[in-house]
Chain A
Amino acid sequence: MSLLQEFNQRALALGVPLSVHMDVTYRCNERCIHCYLDHDDHGEMTTAEIKRTLDQLAEAGTFILTFSGGEVFVRRDFLELVAYARSLMFAVKIKTNAVMIKDAEARRLRELGVDQVQVSLYSHRPEVHDGITKLPGSFRRTLNGIRLLRTHGVKVAIANVLMANNQDDYQSIRNFAEELGTSYYVDPTITPMMNGDRGVLALRIKGEQLPAIFHDPSLIPDVDKFCAPPPPPTEDELDGFPCSAGHTSAYISPYGDVYPCVQFPLKCGSVREADFLDIWRDSPQFHEVRNIRARDLSTCSSCSHVGTCSRCPGLAFFEGDMRGPSTADCEKSFYRTGIPSANMKRLAAAGAAVRSSHSLVQIRAAG
């Protein structure tokens, strides 16, 4: 167990929100076809409000702070917010499309000691990347931003969301990442829009095409282990939590609303109305999320995948029941191992057509 995992275990025992994801804006200079956000500004937190929230997070024990959006750099005060976060000693990670990163921004991020900048890149082909972002020239500008960050010694991770439009491009992007000296993540997750609209799910890669990705040794260090049939769940696994959402991590929207996770739209409170720590400790919604154990799950507790599945409670919530299955993750477990989940068998028995979709996988490249 790594030291960070040890800290995570301790944070879980102590009830500390070790990691917080904060979207500082939903506004964006791109209009990605798969994006789940409404890009209008419905009343973002001011600079002072965000700084006050950061004070509260530091007091609550948060260590890893991820700034994301929208596009973070459309906020004119963004670097001021990063500087303030660093003065509070957070390990700061940033998610951006890097389109607005010029030499001055890259240099400043290095000076501020940002831990990592994650940049979305969809293809090595400009026309495909720009076709997804709907911003002409974005490929060139994003690549330039990555190069400037690397020139100044900032650690960069390229995040490659895979969908039907770019599903064959991941090896070339991975090669890009190696050339640029960045790490690389491939992520075939397409989530419903925050307003519940599921139209974007049509962009997902067809499930039958997932095995090729799951069995690619250049992405998966130990394919045999990763794709092996699941062993019977242990008692510890059945007593375990589905994920860190609400246990050691939380999400804060640009409007100050607090959720268990960016993918889990169960509002637990607002930092505009209460201190973060009070919401974290006392919100009935957080308590409900924390009370769920794997053995309590309505269908999944009897599933052979229960100990190894990446079931996302947020996506299950989108489907109507945070204790229920996330069909997308069921299918991912199936295409990874070849063994249908209990939910898939139930649906098949009920004569329901199982949609060809998948979700929530983050695969770190071996290299």
Chain B
Amino acid sequence: MAETYIARGKAVAARALGGEMMIMSVADSTVFALDEVATILWKSADGVTPLETIVRDHVCAAYEVSPETAIRDAEDFCRELSGSGILLTSDRPIAGAAR
């Protein structure tokens, strides 16, 4: 199965506030709130680390959740945010992504 790579979109504004992350798409000023786990994924979205590795190293290590469940939830999260241009996803490393 192909790896999934994720990177933060460029046309976004973001700031952490009280354990959550505020994200705004500058395309349409839509605002999103990311909870703690989603924030971990967002911060780890460097374009070169596979999603599965991010989930295993940063989510499963910190929360009592099975890898299968965590990966499924992470993929749903990525699908939702990529639809708004907040997150970029690819089956190969994403060049030029913010680290």
Contacts and interface: CB of A to CB of B under 8 A. Distances in A.
B66 interface: no
Interface stretch (A85-93, A164-172, A264-272): A85-93
Interface residues of B, dominant DSSP: strand
A13 B19 CA distance: 13
Nearest to A6: B33
Contacts of A4: 31
A220 B13 CA distance: 30
A91 B33 contact: no
A115 B25 CA distance: 8
Contacts of B32: 3
Contact of A7 (B10, B12, B22, B26): B22
B10 A113 contact: yes
A4 B32 CA distance: 9
A115 B33 contact: no
A14 B22 CA distance: 15
A10 interface: yes
A10 B31 CA distance: 15
B60 interface: no
Nearest to A13: B18
Interface string A1-36: 011101100110110101000000000000000000
B61 interface: no
Interface string A109-150: 000011110000000000000000000000000000000000
A90 B12 CA distance: 9
A215 interface: no
A59 to B, nearest CB: 10
Contacts of B65: none
A181 to B, nearest CB: 13
A113 B15 CA distance: 15
A37 to B, nearest CB: 28
A4 B20 CA distance: 13
B13 to A, nearest CB: 4
Interface string B27-52: 00101110000000000000000000
Nearest to B16: A61
A115 B24 contact: yes
Interface residues of A, number: 24
Contact of B13 (A11, A13, A16, A63): A63
Nearest to A114: B26
A116 B24 CA distance: 12
Nearest to A154: B26
A61 B17 contact: yes
Interface string A77-104: 0000000000001111000000000000
Contact of B24 (A6, A58, A91): A91
Contacts of A6: 33
Contacts of B22: 7, 63
Contact of A113 (B18, B26, B33): B26
30 contacts: A3-B31, A4-B31, A6-B33, A7-B17, A7-B31, A7-B33, A10-B17, A10-B18, A11-B17, A13-B18, A16-B17, A18-B17, A63-B13, A63-B17, A63-B22, A89-B13, A89-B14, A89-B15, A90-B13, A90-B15, A91-B13, A91-B24, A113-B11, A113-B12, A113-B13, A113-B26, A114-B26, A115-B24, A115-B26, A115-B29
Interface of B: 10-18, 22, 24, 26, 29, 31-33
